[in-house]
């Protein structure tokens, strides 16, 4: 039976169905069930071995071409080039291998949540067993500080409360009861009579019968979702793979065509083979994977400075392409620190400023700051909240105890210090709905302070403090104020007190009557600072924010509207479960708040959004979030409150748990993608120009303007000296004012493809022009090739400046990248060496050239800069279409 059904069955019937007893199973029966059902463990079996996962990283067309290029350069005895290419391939394989291992780590972390030992009853005797030996039907004993070892149906509870935030995201501990739930199927967050494996008992005592173990628990089901979630490729990697297939096919086809045409034209087989090899080596952008990796690595470092820790390098770019962020509420949009924001006392309203567990803030009445200690009604309400309280203030943002009591403690500390020695306590009981403490006053008299649900406290009051004395109870006004706070999604507690004789040393529940009502305190988990502004930036950037939380529907909707999430209403997990994918997809167009959701609901929503073509980022901190984190295009876990399971399943971790940090990271991600486009924009035409120069020579029966060794020199020197500095280009202005690129937009846009063709042809034309001019002026073949070689290098340098921006003019920022200027200087020095150093001349078949040759080279190669900037002018003014 599913856990949704156990909560609706009376505990006596649960024992009957499971053939168990409140005194537990017999040891013999437990052994039989253990043999039948297996151990209470979450499976973390690895599907593929180490070597399989490592060598799978080489399955890419571009990698195949790079390996072929390495083999050819090795045969040509160009060992340094072969080693460089192999190192690039190896680095990319290692990155992919590390990324693929994250799912296995997530499963292993999840299995660690099952505690090593559990206290159970066997034949009426209490004993401690390894939790892995628990079986269905066992009776488990629970008390404060225990982590629940399996899913259990509670049949005895005394002040039992559990922290289930790792499953539900709800920040307030859940009060557990034994009553059956008769309202039909409910989400596990509303199953007050069931405790789930991995959750923490933080108060009281209880007993429960085990109804699910191992993979059948909620944790186990989540582990199944993680295993079933396929390892998703990022949008960029998918596009790069597609580009690799196309590029590989084109290079092989052109090389084969060149070889065939060369043979037909009478070239020697060895000569034309070497020309074809030169063409392939020239066309393969062997530096491209390395430069892209460097660009992402720089993005990783920049994001780390903004509290964003990247676990998988491609996540840097993916976040920049996000069109939807599915965020949880507690701890991400909110502080996960309950805060009193409103007080009602003596028929007057008060507002409190300040958020979280920081005892700083003002008390406002009608918008005007007041001294709380000068207002007796307010002071006594605060005093009751501090004294009738088990929480303690450890320091700024650090409370030891229940979050609700922490909020009351901080609200009192904002006014001053209240301390009276405690003599006795009536602890909070869910059935009674109040707590009371007995204190000794400074004059030796005694007072009882009470807090609890407004209705319960009001029932025990016979008068109301009006600021001066006790008067008649305004029940209608108090209940109306309570309802008003509740409608604003505040958690409301009532405060009361009673003076008792000095000889009273203890109190019982029946003594708590004939009280004086003091006031109401309303609290909430407030939005984080900067979240509203961050969501507004998302809107400007064209990114939709969707809240998916395990918290209550009304609370979720209220917080969403406060922080600016645009939504047409809200849907519960039950609503989601009752909809078909088609209907839910339609509602997803307008609804951006989903509450009381299960892991299945969140996973389903993420999959639907991806099917709709969105690039989805998902935030989460609990184990319930792990499947969605792993399935999303990018999973974002919380560094402070996040479980290890969530972190291992994610691609990046927020060090400060703040949604605002995601927006900063998106800006960095968009910058990384922009740099990758610039890398492609510069790399492909320059490689294409080199390759086309060989194709043109073969097709037209011309002398090769470059020999293979010169092409390898070009690829090595310019890829490092000119390609790498692009990764250090300063961020362009207004990145977050642009809409996200269409998810299906190819990495090589129409504009980039046009420019690749245009610049490639321009480089070929320029190289042949200077080559033949040198030949006509009496230069030998080596000198002419040296001129052509330097022409191509200067084309690449001038075009590098164009590539600083795809759309904008670059003259204003032409000197902004110091690394680029340094790289150009190094390349120029190396070109002087290859041109004028005799030993290098001999190796690379180059020769010294004249000053006039340099002038011609500069004049011809600089044309690319002016033509591309003019092209940008035509695009900007609508004379050319970018489509």
Q: Which domains does the chain have, with CATH numbers?
A: 3-45+110-228 (2.70.150.10), 240-294+674-732+743-876 (1.20.1110.10), 308-334+529-664 (3.40.50.1000), 340-524 (3.40.1110.10)
Cβ proximity of 830 and 717 under 8 Å: yes
Instruction: Give CA–CA dist 94/55, Å, rounded.
Output: 10
**CA 462 distance to own-chain centroid:** 53
Assess whether 402 carries a catalytic annotation: no
Question: Beta-carbon neighbour count of residue 580 at 10 Å?
Answer: 8
Task: Place 579 in a pLDDT band, splitting at 50, 70 and 90.
Answer: very high
* Count of other CB atoms within 10 angstroms of residue 488: 15
| pLDDT confidence tier of residue 680, bands split at 50, 70 and 90 | confident
SS3 of 175-230: ECCCCCCCCCCCCHHHCCCEECCCCEEEEEEEEEEEEECHHHCHHHHHHHHHHHCC
pLDDT score recorded for residue 825: 96
pLDDT for position 49:
59
pLDDT at residue 766, rounded to an integer = 95
877 CB-near residues (< 8 Å, 6+ apart): none
d(CA 573, CA 333): 20
User: According to the model, what pLDDT value does residue 396 have?
Assistant: 77
How far is it, in rounded angstroms, from Cα 303 to Cα 639?
14
Q: Report phi then psi at 804, rounded to 5.
A: -60, -25
Length of the chain measured in residues: 883
Report whether 449 contacts 437 (CB < 8 A). Answer: yes
Residue pLDDT, tens place only, 334-377: 887 899 999 999 999 999 998 888 899 999 999 999 999 999 99
Copy the structure tokens of residue 603: 């996973």
Alpha-carbon distances, residue 669 vs 22, 318, 808 (angstroms): 57, 7, 20
Tokens of 314: 């491609």
pLDDT classification of 742: cutoffs 50, 70, 90: confident
Q: Which of 355, 430, 340, 447 is nearest to 385 (CA)?
A: 340
Judged by average pLDDT, the poorest of 117-126, 204-213, 281-290, 514-523 is 281-290
Mention every residue, 6+ apart, whose C-beta is less than 8 A from residue 391: 399, 400, 401, 402, 405, 406, 408, 409
Distance from the Cα of residue 334 to its chain's centroid? 16
| pLDDT score recorded for residue 412 | 95
Residue pair 255/279 in contact by the 8 Å Cβ criterion = yes
Does the structure show a pLDDT above 50 at 294? yes
Please give the Cα distance from 681 to 674 (Å, whole number): 10
pLDDT in tens, 527-559: 888 899 999 999 999 999 999 988 888 888 989
Give φ, ψ of 529 to 5 degrees.
-65, 135
The whole-angstrom separation of Cα 301 and Cα 298 is: 5
Q: Which of 81, 190, 328, 853 is an active site residue?
A: 328
Most confident of 39-43, 112-116, 847-851: 847-851
CA end-to-end span of the chain:
57
More confident residue, 489 or 194: 194
Does residue 82 carry a pLDDT above 60?
yes
> What integer pLDDT is reported at residue 110 of this predicted model?
41
* Region of poorest pLDDT, from 159-163, 453-457, 507-511, 793-797: 159-163
> What is the predicted pLDDT for the residue at 751?
87
Percentage with pLDDT > 70 across the chain: 86
The predicted structure's pLDDT at residue 563: 92
Cβ contacts of residue 53 below 8 Å, gap of 6+?
97, 100, 101
**Alpha helix (H) residue ranges in 701-817:** 708-718, 750-776, 781-802
DSSP 840: H
Residues with Cβ within 8 Å of 824's Cβ and at least 6 positions away in sequence, in order, are 721, 722, 797, 800
Higher-pLDDT residue of 322, 245: 322
In this predicted model, what pLDDT tens digit does every residue of 404-445 receive, in sequence order?
A: 999 999 999 999 888 899 999 998 877 788 999 999 998 899
| pLDDT at residue 590, as a whole number | 94
The whole-number pLDDT of residue 375 equals 94
β pairing state of 571-572 and 593-595 = parallel
Asked if pLDDT for residue 317 goes beyond 80, the answer is no
Could you tell me which of 126, 130, 166 has the C-alpha nearest to residue 143?
A: 126
C-beta of residue 387 within 8 angstroms of C-beta of residue 380: no
**Is the pLDDT reported for residue 325 higher than 70?**
yes
Across the chain, how many H-helices and E-strands are there? 32, 28
pLDDT at 43 over 70: no
Angle between helices 61-75 and 235-264 (to 10 degrees): 50
Quick one: three-class SS letters along 354-380?
A: CCCCCCCCCEEECCEEECHHHCHHHHH
pLDDT exceeds cutoff 60 at 465: yes
CA 449 to CA 495: how far, in whole Å? 8
Residue 229 pLDDT exceeds 80: no
3-state secondary structure of 636: strand
Q: Do 299 and 673 contact (CB within 8 A), yes or no?
A: no
pLDDT score at 3: 44
Say if residues 767 and 791 touch (Cβ distance below 8 Å).
Answer: yes
3-state secondary structure of 638: strand
Mean pLDDT of 189-216: 87
Query: How far is the CA of 147 from the CAs of 119, 202, 299, in angstroms?
Result: 11, 9, 39
What per-residue confidence (pLDDT) applies to 835?
97
DSSP 724: G
Tokens of 656: 């400060």
Contact 657, 620 (CB under 8 A): no
Cα separation, 188 vs 195, whole angstroms: 9
pTM comes to 0.69
- Token look-up 């740099």 returns 675
pLDDT category, 399, cuts 50, 70, 90? confident
β-pairing, 434-440 vs 446-452, is antiparallel
Angstrom CA distances, 179 to 7, 9, 12, stand at: 9, 9, 11
The residue among 499, 500, 602, 594 whose CA lies nearest residue 556 is: 594
Q: What is the pLDDT at residue 169? A: 61
Torsions phi, psi for 731 (to 5 deg)? -65, 135
Q: 515-524 and 339-345: which strand pairing?
A: antiparallel
At 252-272, the pLDDT tens digits run: 888 888 888 888 877 777 667
Q: State the Cα–Cα distance between residues 64 and 817, nearest whole angstrom.
A: 34
Percent of the chain residues topping a pLDDT of 90: 41
Contact at 8 Å (CB) between 3 and 218? yes
Looking at 84-88, 121-125, 691-695, which range is the least confident one? 84-88
For tokens 């120009």, the residue is 689
C-alpha Rg value of the chain to the nearest Å: 35
Nearest CA to 150 out of 99, 47, 219, 53 is that of: 219
**Model confidence at 883, in pLDDT bands (50, 70, 90)?**
low
């Amino acid at each position: 039976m599913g856990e949704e059904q156990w909560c609706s069955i009376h505990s006596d019937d649960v024992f009957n169905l499971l053939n168990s007893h409140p005194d537990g199973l017999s040891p013999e029966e437990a052994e039989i069930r253990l043999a039948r059902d297996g151990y209470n463990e979450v499976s973390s079996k690895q599907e593929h071995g180490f070597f399989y996962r490592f060598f799978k990283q080489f399955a890419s067309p571009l990698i195949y071409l790079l390996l072929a290029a390495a083999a050819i350069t090795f045969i040509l005895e160009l060992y340094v080039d072969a080693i460089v290419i192999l190192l690039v391939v190896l680095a990319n394989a290692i990155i992919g291998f590390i990324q693929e291992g994250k799912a296995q780590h997530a499963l292993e972390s999840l299995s660690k949540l099952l505690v090593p030992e559990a206290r159970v009853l066997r034949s009426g005797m209490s004993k401690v067993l390894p939790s892995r030996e628990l079986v269905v039907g066992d009776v488990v004993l629970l008390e404060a500080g225990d982590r629940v070892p399996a899913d259990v149906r509670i049949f005895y509870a005394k002040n039992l409360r559990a922290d289930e935030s790792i499953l539900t995201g709800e920040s307030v501990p859940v009060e557990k009861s034994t009553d059956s739930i008769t309202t039909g199927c409910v989400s596990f967050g509303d199953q007050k009579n069931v405790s789930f494996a991995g959750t923490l008992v933080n108060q009281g005592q209880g007993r429960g019968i085990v109804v699910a173990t191992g993979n059948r628990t909620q944790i186990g089901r989540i582990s199944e979702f993680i295993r079933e979630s396929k390892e998703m490729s990022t949008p960029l990697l998918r596009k790069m793979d597609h580009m690799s297939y196309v590029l590989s096919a084109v290079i092989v086809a052109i090389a084969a065509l060149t070889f065939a045409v060369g043979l037909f034209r009478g070239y020697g087989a060895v000569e034309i083979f070497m020309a074809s090899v030169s063409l392939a080596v020239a066309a393969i952008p062997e530096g491209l994977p390395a430069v892209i990796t460097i660009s992402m690595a720089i993005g990783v470092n920049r994001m780390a400075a903004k509290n964003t820790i990247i676990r998988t390098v491609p996540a840097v770019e993916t976040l920049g392409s996000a069109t939807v962020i599915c965020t949880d509420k507690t701890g991400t949009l909110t502080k996960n620190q309950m805060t009193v924001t409103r007080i009602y006392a003596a028929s007057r309203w008060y507002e409190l400023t300040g958020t979280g567990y920081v005892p700083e803030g003002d008390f406002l009445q009608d918008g005007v700051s007041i001294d709380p200690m000068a207002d007796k009604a307010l002071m006594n309400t605060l005093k009751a909240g501090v004294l009738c309280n088990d929480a303690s203030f450890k320091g700024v943002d650090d409370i030891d105890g229940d979050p609700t009591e922490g909020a009351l403690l901080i609200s009192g500390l904002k006014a001053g210090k209240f301390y009276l020695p405690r003599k006795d306590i009536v602890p909070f009981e869910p059935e009674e709905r109040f707590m009371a403490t007995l204190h000794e006053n400074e004059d030796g008299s005694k007072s009882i302070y009470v807090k609890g649900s407004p209705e319960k406290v009001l029932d025990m009051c016979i008068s109301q403090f009006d600021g001066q004395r006790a008067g008649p109870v305004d029940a209608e006004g108090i209940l109306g104020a309570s309802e008003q706070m509740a409608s604003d999604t505040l958690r409301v507690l009532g405060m009361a007190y009673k003076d008792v004789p000095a000889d009273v040393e203890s109190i019982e529940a029946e003594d708590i009557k004939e009280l004086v009502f003091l006031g109401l305190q309303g609290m909430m988990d407030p939005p984080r600072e900067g979240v509203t502004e961050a969501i507004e930036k998302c809107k400007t950037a064209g990114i939709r924010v969707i809240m998916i939380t395990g918290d209550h529907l009304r609370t979720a909707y209220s917080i969403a509207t406060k922080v600016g999430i645009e939504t047409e209403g809200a849907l519960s997990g039950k609503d989601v479960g009752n909809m078909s994918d088609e209907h839910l997809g339609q509602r997803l167009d307008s609804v951006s708040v989903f509450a009381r959701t299960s892991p299945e609901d969140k996973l389903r929503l993420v999959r639907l959004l991806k099917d709709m073509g969105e690039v989805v980022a998902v935030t989460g901190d609990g184990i319930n979030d792990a499947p969605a984190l792993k399935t999303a295009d990018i999973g974002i876990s919380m560094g402070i409150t996040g479980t290890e399971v969530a972190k291992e399943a994610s691609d990046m971790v927020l060090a400060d748990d703040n949604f605002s940090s995601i927006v900063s990271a998106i800006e960095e991600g968009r910058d990384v993608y922009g740099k990758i486009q610039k890398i492609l924009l510069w790399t492909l035409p320059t490689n294409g120009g080199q390759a086309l120069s060989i194709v043109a020579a073969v097709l037209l029966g011309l002398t090769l303007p470059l020999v293979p060794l010169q092409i390898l020199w070009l690829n090595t020197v310019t890829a490092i000296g000119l390609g790498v500095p692009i990764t250090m280009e300063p961020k362009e202005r207004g990145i977050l004012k642009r809409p996200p690129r269409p998810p299906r937009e190819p990495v090589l846009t129409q504009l980039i493809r046009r420019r690749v063709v245009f610049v490639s042809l321009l480089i070929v034309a320029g190289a042949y022009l200077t080559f033949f001019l040198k030949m006509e002026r009496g230069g030998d073949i080596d000198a002419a090739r040296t001129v052509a070689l330097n022409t191509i290098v200067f084309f690449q340098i001038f075009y590098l400046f164009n590539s600083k921006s795809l759309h904008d003019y670059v003259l204003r920022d032409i000197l902004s990248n110091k690394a680029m200027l340094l790289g150009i200087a190094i390349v120029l020095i190396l070109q002087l060496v290859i041109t004028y150093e005799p030993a290098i001349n001999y190796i690379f078949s180059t020769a010294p050239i004249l000053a006039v040759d340099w002038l011609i080279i500069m004049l011809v190669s600089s044309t690319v800069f002016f033509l591309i900037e003019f092209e940008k002018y035509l695009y900007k003014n609508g004379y050319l279409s970018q489509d």
